[in-house]
Structure 1
């Protein structure tokens, strides 16, 4: 079982604050720590943004994939 240092429930934030909030939470992680992202849709665009902005610094594992709830474990390498 993964322990999460941070949890972000994306629907709790206004649209323009979601990605900045998620990236702040990720950036606050220590190497080897994980955050839990909970969302109401597939966060695939966010994963692509991570691939561009944090390149090889993260891991991405779907824990739950819809149809109403998505949970992703995002780890900091």
Structure 2
């Protein structure tokens, strides 16, 4: 990860399946640009990456921190909006 602060950790191993996605996406929505959350699970959450790609294309970075066999850890970083995507800083006049 490219940040220095410890990311928000979500250990989904202790949650019922029906609560996991809501918690993950509400946590992601609450992150500031450049901040990350870390998801901890007992199996690969690769299918979740596809959900992120559909719901937040270009708005996240995905990094495996640990890939099994017993624990999987993934850091998901919220990316800053691209210049010109409604968040102009004003310095270029665009």
Supply the RMSD in Å over aligned alpha carbons: 1.2
Equivalent residue pairs, number:
77
2-structure distance, mates of 1:71, 1:20? 18
- Gaps in structure 2 of 5+ consecutive residues: 80-94
TM-score computed with the length of structure 1 as normaliser? 0.93
Structure 1 residue runs of 4 or more that deviate by more than 3 Å after TM superposition = none
- Gaps in structure 1 of 5+ consecutive residues: none
1:40 equivalent in structure 2: 42
Secondary structure of the equivalent of 2:33? coil
2-structure distance, mates of 1:19, 1:39? 13
Query: Residue 55 of structure 1: which of 37, 41, 57 is its match?
Result: 57
1:11 equivalent in structure 2: 13
2:22 equivalent in structure 1: 20
Secondary structure of the equivalent of 2:50? helix
TM-score computed with the length of structure 2 as normaliser? 0.77
Higher helix share: 1
2-structure distance, mates of 1:59, 1:4? 16
**Cα distance, 1:6 vs structure 2:** 1.5
